[in-house]
């Protein structure tokens, strides 16, 4: 059997295993062209290609590729399919790049120890920074990733300045319901827009942002199960196939109608650091007496809602505070509970969760206002 020297670090990818081009099983090894290949598989292939009669010089020489070797298919039907899908997305102005089955960039970094490079080196392998709207460049990207089964869409780039609202339903979360509650809390309608159904049962809502607007990426900051894909973020493109399943346009969704972000939602996504606000609350014993003075029923309501707020873990504290404030606010609106006492009790509970005073005050007032309508 022919033996190859693969002691050079360039033949090893410490970040991911990819299907061997010969046997299809995962391997971290790479051949001279950086294609996935087991050392044994490559050596066996070379042995199979060598002539049966030894060279008269008695020296071991690597054979030149034969016709049969050149005919080994490098690009699968799946690769051709996803390349065509990505090119279609590109034709509609989407900056795209190849992904693997795990939703990670399909092309490994050319310099994994240098995380500051964003593609200035001119080589592929910089994730979302590889995204392009040029079909020739996209074709070259996919040719460098024969194992690609998916593609990513870069958010925040021209011409759409895309922003994705990722609504998860995994791990007991209900992103869609929490997003509807957020819209109600901040007074905006969720407009019809391009929507992608994810394999886990969630949704990706596509919106556009004004040019030059920086939208930070976040996870569950707006509420449990609500993630934001903004500047330098990515969305898995419809038609992509991953280990979790396939991404598809949601039934009834128009793939060519991407709606601008509602103004209140845009304000939430671009809100800067908040100033610290201090609120003077009465002594806990005094506050407890004030609550009891409201009667047994109101005492029970405030105690129950306050316990819910204190028990809420991050994320979701703000959403919980708002919903409890709306519940208490109905008693305030009915005139059976003093607003000042209700506010102080809710503020005490909200502050105990680690929320700042300004956030608590605005959230409680918003809940009261919702209950009054």
Given this model, what pLDDT does residue 339 score? Answer: 87
Please name each of the domains of the chain with its CATH number.
Answer: 155-272 (3.30.2250), 284-372 (no CATH)
Question: What order of strands is seen across the sheet that includes strand 96-99?
Answer: 96-99, 150-154, 234-236
Confidence at residue 275, expressed as pLDDT on a 0 to 100 scale: 47
What pLDDT was estimated at residue 358? 85
Structure tokens at 285: 């014993």
The per-residue pLDDT for 50 is 54
Q: Can you give the pLDDT at residue 114? A: 61
Beta-carbon contacts of 201 under 8 Å, excluding residues fewer than 6 positions away, are 169
| Strand 226-229 with 96-99, pairing | unpaired
Q: Write down the pLDDT at residue 24.
A: 72
Q: Print pLDDT tens along the chain (373 aa).
A: 445 566 666 677 666 667 777 777 778 787 777 788 887 777 777 666 655 444 434 333 444 444 433 343 568 899 999 999 999 999 999 999 999 999 999 998 888 766 678 888 888 999 999 999 999 999 999 999 999 999 999 999 999 999 999 999 987 789 999 999 999 989 999 999 999 999 999 999 999 999 999 999 888 888 888 999 999 899 999 999 999 999 999 999 999 899 999 999 999 999 765 544 455 677 888 888 889 999 999 999 999 999 999 998 777 899 999 999 999 988 888 788 888 889 999 999 999 988 888 889 889 988 888 887 6
pLDDT at 60: 38
Question: What's the pLDDT score for residue 214?
Answer: 92
Residue 69, pLDDT score: 37
Does residue 140 contact residue 83 with C-beta atoms inside 8 Å?
no
CA distance 200 to 309: 29
Residue 285 pLDDT:
87
- How far, in Å, CA of 154 to CA of 353, rounded? 35
DSSP-derived 3-state class of residue 55: coil
Q: What is the pLDDT of residue 133?
A: 96
What confidence score (pLDDT) does residue 117 get? 81
Cα 272 versus chain centre, distance: 22
pLDDT of residue 1: 43
pLDDT of residue 68: 38
The confidence score (pLDDT) of residue 57 equals: 40
**What confidence score (pLDDT) does residue 66 get?**
42
d(CA 199, CA 157): 26
Classify burial at 25, counting beta carbons within 10 Å of its beta carbon; exposed 0-12, middle 13-18, buried 19 or more: exposed
Scan for tokens 């690009």, then name that residue.
Answer: 75
Looking at residue 218, what is its pLDDT?
87
């Amino acid at each position: 059997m022919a033996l190859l020297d693969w002691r050079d670090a360039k033949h090893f990818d410490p970040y991911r295993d990819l299907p061997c081009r010969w046997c299809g099983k995962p391997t971290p090894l790479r051949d001279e062209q950086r294609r996935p290949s087991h050392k044994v598989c490559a050596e066996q292939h070379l042995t199979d290609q060598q002539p049966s009669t030894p060279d008269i010089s008695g020296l071991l020489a690597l054979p030149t590729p034969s016709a049969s070797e050149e005919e080994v298919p490098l690009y699968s039907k799946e690769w051709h399919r996803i390349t065509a899908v990505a090119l279609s997305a590109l034709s509609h102005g989407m900056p795209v790049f190849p992904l693997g089955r795990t939703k990670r960039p399909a092309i490994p970094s050319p310099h994994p120890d240098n995380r500051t490079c964003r593609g200035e080196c001119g080589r592929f392998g910089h994730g979302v920074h590889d995204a392009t709207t040029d079909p020739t460049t996209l074709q070259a990207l996919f040719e460098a990733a024969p194992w690609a089964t998916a593609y990513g869409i870069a958010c925040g780039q021209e011409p759409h300045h895309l922003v994705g609202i990722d609504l998860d339903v995994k791990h007991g979360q209900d992103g869609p319901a929490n997003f509807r509650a957020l819209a109600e809390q901040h007074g905006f309608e969720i407009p019809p827009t391009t929507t992608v159904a994810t394999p886990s049962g969630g949704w990706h809502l596509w919106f556009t942002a004004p040019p030059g607007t920086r939208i930070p990426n976040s996870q569950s900051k707006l509420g449990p199960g609500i993630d934001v894909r903004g500047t330098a973020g990515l969305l898995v493109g419809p038609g992509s196939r991953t280990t979790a399943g396939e991404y598809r346009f949601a039934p009834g969704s128009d793939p060519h109608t991407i709606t601008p972000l509602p103004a209140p939602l845009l304000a939430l996504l671009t809100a800067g650091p908040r100033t610290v606000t201090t609120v003077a609350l009465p002594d806990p014993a005094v506050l407890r007496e004030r609550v009891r003075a409201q009667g047994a029923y109101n005492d029970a309501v405030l105690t129950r809602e306050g316990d819910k707020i204190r028990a809420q873990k991050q994320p979701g504290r703000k959403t919980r505070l708002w919903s409890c404030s709306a519940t208490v606010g109905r008693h305030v609106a009915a005139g059976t509970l003093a607003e000042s006492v209700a506010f102080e009790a809710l503020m005490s509970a909200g502050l105990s969760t680690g929320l700042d005073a300004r956030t608590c005050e605005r959230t409680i007032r918003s809940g009261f206002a919702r209950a009054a309508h």
